Amino acid sequence: MTAALPDWATSLTSALDTAMGLELLEASADRVVGRMPVTGNTQPYGLWHGGASCVLAETLASIGASAHGLPDKIAVGVDLNATHHKAVREGWVTGTATPVHRGSRVATYEVVLVDDRDVRICTARVTCQLIPRPTGGGS
């Protein structure tokens, strides 16, 4: 994680994000940038796994939608569409999420994933529902 991130952003990554090596680089309602290493996130043929693209895209979009919902709402993903354009075998995949729509109940982000040469490898669209922030302890 980058030290320049806002305090609210540092709590929004999950154990899955950590296991996959996510590095969150920038976070706001207008733009979220993060990256993951190809190493450790490949399918059996040694290529970047399409599921890793989906994890990266949904994480970045959810962080953007959460920023939009601050301070009273949180974001939960309800739709994910990803088109895989090109294979990657090494290096890093960097994603940038930007808003397509930000409403009071739903936020949609486009996420563009690129390789180290800035070649687009995946385009995703993620829609999140904005729900009231839970209060209390509950189980």
Q: Is 90 a catalytic residue?
A: no
Q: List the 23-27 sheet strands across, edge first.
A: 23-27, 32-37, 92-102, 106-114, 120-132, 73-84
- Residue 4 gets which letter from DSSP? T
- Residue 48 gets which letter from DSSP? B
Q: What does the domain layout of the chain look like in residue ranges?
A: 7-132
Q: Which residue has the tokens 């154990």?
A: 15
Counted residue by residue, the chain has a size of: 139
Residue 135's pLDDT is 81
Comparison of pLDDT for 135 and 66, the residue scoring more:
66
pLDDT value at 33 more than 90 = yes
Q: Does domain 7-132 have CATH number 3.10.129.10?
A: yes
Q: Of the residues 23, 26, 58, 90, which is catalytic?
A: 58
Q: Which band of pLDDT confidence, cut at 50, 70 and 90, is reported for residue 95?
A: very high
**Joined tokens for residue 5:** 């991130």
Residue 138's pLDDT is 52
Please calculate the CA angle 98-100-103 and round it to the nearest 5 degrees: 115
The pTM of the full predicted model, rounded to 2 decimals, is 0.92
Average pLDDT (83-105) is: 98
